[in-house]
DNA sequence: CCTACCGATCGGTAGG
DNA sequence: CCTACCGATCGGTAGG
């Protein structure tokens, strides 16, 4: 008699990854032990190594997949027709969307990536810098054509990135303040603050 | 012959604290060992315990002193005459000032406080909540009297807090972008984004 | 302020 | 997937 036991193995790796992202968010990467993680998914610590080669591979998986999501969104927005202000608005929506949909993973890309070791650390920093540069190019274009106020693009970009960095910590589905409220208010503050009035 | 060796002891504790804040910023509290810290100040690990009772006492000292700086600034601003918008502007300046003057300590209050243990963790969370509530009260007042746009005060407060959270990571004296630039641009973005037009 | 050292816990491996 | 166990490193103490 053959028993089918190979239906769910692809999801076990994902389950561990999700639990790890949660723990990294709550306690940080360094303070999370493989025993904590094992307990969270109902295994013993050594069994984790059947799914990931090391603790760092889990962090790596979270960081690079999440970075890809931001990069894909950015690529789509770059190809979009519309003014720099339109693109900026779309970028703000992208950040809010990812922060509310994938809150546990976002913390990793924000804070825990520094625990990556070489050569992955350098690679991650390069991806991050690339994202920042391409985001900055859109702001620069908006400033040059006079659609955006005359601010340092570097300051504008980091202010935008940062201004949504509390969402993943605070947001949980079912709050009285909805994602729609969040989007309207944050988008309002940043767009009014950046786009030229007259 | 008596040698005077008691001139500088009050500064050794401060030196250790400063080095610890730097390490916590770079590697995080959990990933910083007492041996790392000892090396940074030219001691052996056990000697640190002549100045602090535990690793956590160092973190505690950084977190609570820094929190006090924010609270003192807030108290002064609350007593200030002027509209809610004036007070909001002063609060934004307070955050920029502390972030550029005391960058290494600010990281602790933002990220590493979660490694405090009870009863200090609860105390710290209470202080943080109090600060947030009093900040929010100023925003609420501005919204009610029509000086500020109709945003959720909770969203506004967190957006403001967050929007300056990159400064302590990025700012170093001697950059081509000066604290004056930073203040002008960030204040511009946030005030234009929050204050009613016309 | 140091050397010597403690028990606990860490990430990870061997072997089945 | 587990039990058993590894060397390394942790925060901290004893004793001088």
Residue pLDDT, tens place only, A62-82: 999 999 999 999 999 999 999
Distance from CA(B43) to C1'(C5), angstroms, rounded:
18
Cβ-based neighbour number of residue A49 at 10 Å: 12
Q: How far is B81 from chain A (nearest CA, A)?
A: 25
The SS3 call for residue B89 is helix
Q: Considering only alpha carbons, which residue of chain B is nearest residue A153? A: B185
Alpha-carbon gap: B178 to the closest alpha carbon of chain A (Å)? 11
Q: Which nucleotide has its C1' atom closest to residue B48's CA?
A: C1
Q: Which nucleotides on chain C have any atom < 7 A from a protein Cβ?
A: 1-4, 9-15
Residues of B in contact with A158 (CB under 8 A): 166, 170
Find chain B residues with C-beta within 8 A of A169's C-beta: none
Question: Residue A81 class from Cβ within 10 Å (0-12 exposed, 13-18 middle, 19+ buried)?
Answer: exposed
Question: With the C-alpha atoms ordered A76, A81, A84, A87, is the resulting torsion angle positive or negative?
Answer: negative
Residues of A with CB under 8 A from a CB of B: 26-31, 111, 114-115, 149, 151-152, 154-156, 158-159, 161-166, 170, 177, 181-182, 185-186, 188-194, 197
Q: How far is the CA of B73 from the C1' of D15 (A)?
A: 47
- Distance in Å from D9's C1' to B65's CA comes to 31
Q: How far apart are CA A8 and CA A11, in angstroms?
A: 5
The CATH number of the domain covering residues in B57-194: 1.10.357.10
A194 contacts B189? CB cut-off 8 A: yes
CA distance readout (Å), B153 to A89, A176, A182, B87, B127: 21, 13, 11, 15, 19
Chain B residue at shortest CA distance from A32: B30
> Residues contacting strand D at CB < 7 A?
A 12, 38, 43-47, 50; B 32-36, 45-46, 49, 53-56
3-class SS of residue A148: strand
Dig out the tokens for B106 from the structure.
């600010």
Chain A 22..61 CB hits on strand C (< 7 A): 32-36, 45-46, 49, 53-56
Determine, for residues A163 and B166 on separate chains, whether the beta-carbon distance falls below 8 Å.
no
Phi, psi of B88 (to 5 degrees): -60, -45
As given in the structure block, the two tokens for residue B41 are 């100040």
Answer for the pair B170, A158: CB distance below 8 angstroms, yes or no: yes
* Secondary structure of residue A182 in the 3-state scheme: helix
CATH of domain A56-194: 1.10.357.10
How far is residue B47 CA from its own chain's centroid? 28
Q: With H, G, I as helix, E, B as strand and everything else as coil, classify residue B195.
A: strand
Mapped onto helix, strand or coil, the DSSP state of residue A195 is strand
3-state class (DSSP) for residue B7? coil
pLDDT digits (tens, 9 = 90+) for B38-90: 999 999 999 999 999 999 999 999 999 999 999 999 999 999 999 999 999 99
Query: CA of A47 and C1' of D3: distance in angstroms?
Result: 12
Is residue A177 pLDDT above 80, yes or no?
yes
pLDDT digits (tens), chain B, 198 positions: 444 444 445 689 999 999 999 999 999 999 999 999 999 999 999 999 999 999 999 999 999 999 999 999 999 999 999 999 999 999 999 999 999 888 888 877 788 999 999 999 999 999 999 999 999 999 999 999 999 999 999 999 999 999 988 987 788 888 889 889 999 999 999 999 899 874
φ and ψ at A69, to 5 degrees?
-65, -40
| Percent of chain B clearing pLDDT 70 (strictly above) | 94
Q: How many CB atoms lie within 10 A of CB A37?
A: 21
For residue B184, the tally of other CB atoms under 10 A from its CB is 14
Q: Are B89 and B140 in contact (CB under 8 A)?
A: no
- DSSP codes joined into one string, B121-165: HHHHHHHHHHHHHHHHHHHHHHHHTTSB-S--HHHHHHHHHHHTT
Domain limits, chain B:
57-194
Per-residue H/E/C for A52-116: CCCHHHHHHHHHHHHHHHHHHHHHHHHHCCCCHHHHHHHHHHHHHHHHHHCHHHHHHHHHHHHHC
Percent of chain A having pLDDT more than 90? 77
pLDDT single digits (tens) A5-55: 444 456 899 999 999 999 999 999 999 999 999 999 999 999 999 999 999
Q: How far is CA B14 from the centre of its chain?
A: 17
Residue B56 is predicted with a pLDDT of 98
CA distance A28 to B167: 21
pTM recorded for the entire structure:
0.89
Residues of chain A with C-beta less than 8 angstroms from the C-beta of B156: 185, 189
Chain A, chain B: beta-carbon pairs less than 8 Å apart? 107
pLDDT recorded at residue B4: 43
User: No. of H helices and E strands in chain B?
Assistant: 10, 0
Query: Could you check: is the Cβ of residue A100 within 7 Å of any atom of nucleic acid strand C?
Result: no
Shortest CB distance from A151 goes to which of B164, B165, B185?
B185
């Amino acid at each position: 008699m053959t028993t089918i036991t190979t239906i769910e193995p692809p999801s076990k790796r994902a389950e561990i990854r999700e639990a790890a992202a949660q723990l990294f968010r709550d306690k940080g990467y360094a303070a999370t032990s493989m025993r904590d993680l094992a307990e969270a998914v109902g295994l013993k610590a050594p069994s984790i190594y059947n799914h990931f080669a090391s603790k760092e591979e889990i962090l790596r998986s979270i960081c690079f997949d999440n970075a890809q999501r931001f990069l894909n969104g950015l690529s789509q927005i770059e190809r979009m027709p519309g003014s720099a202000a339109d693109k900026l608005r779309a970028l703000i929506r992208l950040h809010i969307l990812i922060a509310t949909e994938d809150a546990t993973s976002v913390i990793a890309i924000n804070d825990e990536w520094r625990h990556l070791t070489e050569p992955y650390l350098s690679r991650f920093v390069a991806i991050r810098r690339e994202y920042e540069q391409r985001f900055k190019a859109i702001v620069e274009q908006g400033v040059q054509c006079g659609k955006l106020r005359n601010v340092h693009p570097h300051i504008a970009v980091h202010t935008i990135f940062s201004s949504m960095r509390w969402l993943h910590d605070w947001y949980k589905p079912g709050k009285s303040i909805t994602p729609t409220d969040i989007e309207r208010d944050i988008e309002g503050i940043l767009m009014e603050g950046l786009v030229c009035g007259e």
